[in-house]
Amino acid sequence: MEICNKDHREWPSFQSLPHDQGGHGRHKCAGCAYEQGYSAGLERKESFTIELDSLPESQAETVRHKSPHATFAQGYYDGVHSSYNNQ
- Kindly state the average pLDDT of the residues 15-26: 74
Amino acid (one-letter) located at 81: H
Give me the pLDDT at residue 74, please.
94
Q: How far apart are CA 27 and CA 48, in angstroms?
A: 22
Q: How far apart are CA 73 and CA 37, in angstroms?
A: 6
pLDDT tens column, 33-75:
999 999 999 999 999 888 888 887 777 776 677 888 999 999 9
pLDDT band at 24 (very low <50, low <70, confident <90, very high): low
Q: Which residues on neighbouring strands pair with residue 21, listed in sequence order?
A: none
Give me the pLDDT at residue 44, please.
96
